[in-house]
């Protein structure tokens, strides 16, 4: 069986090594750090007076930069995914989010449902950053690279075959 094609350039213009990080914003780094460690269970280090670095389960990191006057809400399509293995774990996470929403300033909490090929729900934190808790196999969405380019709905299809299904 042929291996699906994954689009990469044989001689890219830039010679890069690693997709290392993304960036979030926070109005209050002390409150954000407490949320990231005590609620989300992330690893956190302070990298400067105005920044944190967070990670969970891998080498990819997210820089969190203080923006005191930030009121804009992160668009849902720019969300950050936090993976669990089962639908039961998604449901338990949803219950916890609902129970602790006032303590952490969580809002716009959607109900868990099967969407874009996974079972998940979304919520926004006190800094208006959007989070998704979802079922995914180990390695997150990296399994899609094994499939190569998709036609049609792809992983947005509710009946799309995922690893372990």
54-105 pLDDT, tens digit each? 999 999 999 999 999 888 999 999 999 999 999 999 999 999 999 999 999 9
Question: What's the total number of domains in the chain?
Answer: 2
CA dist., res. 146 & res. 141, Å (int): 10
35 and 103 in one domain?
no
Q: Does residue 86 sit within a domain?
A: yes
Residues 59 and 104 placed together within one structural domain of the fold:
no
Q: Are residues 91 and 61 in the same domain?
A: no
Whether 6 is in a domain gets the answer no
Which pLDDT belongs to residue 150?
A: 78
**2 belongs to a structural domain:** no
Q: 79 and 150: one domain?
A: yes
Residue 163: band (very low, low, confident or very high) from pLDDT cuts 50, 70, 90: confident
**Exposed, middle or buried by CB within 10 Å (0-12, 13-18, 19+), for 105?**
middle
Confidence of residue 156 (pLDDT cuts 50, 70, 90): low
CA separation for the pair 126, 26 (Å, rounded): 8
Q: Is residue 13 one of the residues assigned to a domain?
A: no
- pLDDT value for 1: 47
Give me the domain span that covers residue 96: 72-158
The last residue of one of the domains, among 38, 69, 100, is 69
User: How much is the pTM?
Assistant: 0.87
Token pair listed for 35: 């949320």
- The sign of the CA dihedral 13, 19, 24, 29 is negative
Question: For position 5, what pLDDT does the model report?
Answer: 58
Instruction: Report the CATH number at residue 84.
Output: 3.10.180.10
152 & 81 share domain: yes
pLDDT digits (tens, 9 = 90+) for 97-141: 999 999 999 999 999 999 877 899 999 999 999 999 999 888 888
- Are 77 and 26 contained in the same domain? no
Residues 77 and 154 placed together within one structural domain of the fold: yes
């Amino acid at each position: 069986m042929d291996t699906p094609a994954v689009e990469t350039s044989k001689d890219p213009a830039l010679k890069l090594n690693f997709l290392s990080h993304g960036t979030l914003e926070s109005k209050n780094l002390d409150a954000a750090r407490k949320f990231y460690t005590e609620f989300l269970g992330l690893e956190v280090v302070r990298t400067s007076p105005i920044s944190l670095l967070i990670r969970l389960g891998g080498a990819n990191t997210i820089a969190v930069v203080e923006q005191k006057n930030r009121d804009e809400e992160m668009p849902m399509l720019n969300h950050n995914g936090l993976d669990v293995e089962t639908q039961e774990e998604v449901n338990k996470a949803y219950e916890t989010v609902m129970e602790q929403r006032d303590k952490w300033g969580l809002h716009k909490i959607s109900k868990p449902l099967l969407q874009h090929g996974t079972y998940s729900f979304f919520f926004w934190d006190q800094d208006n950053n959007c989070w998704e808790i979802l079922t995914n196999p180990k390695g997150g969405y990296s399994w899609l690279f094994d499939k190569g380019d998709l036609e049609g709905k792809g992983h947005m299809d509710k009946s799309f075959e995922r690893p372990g299904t």
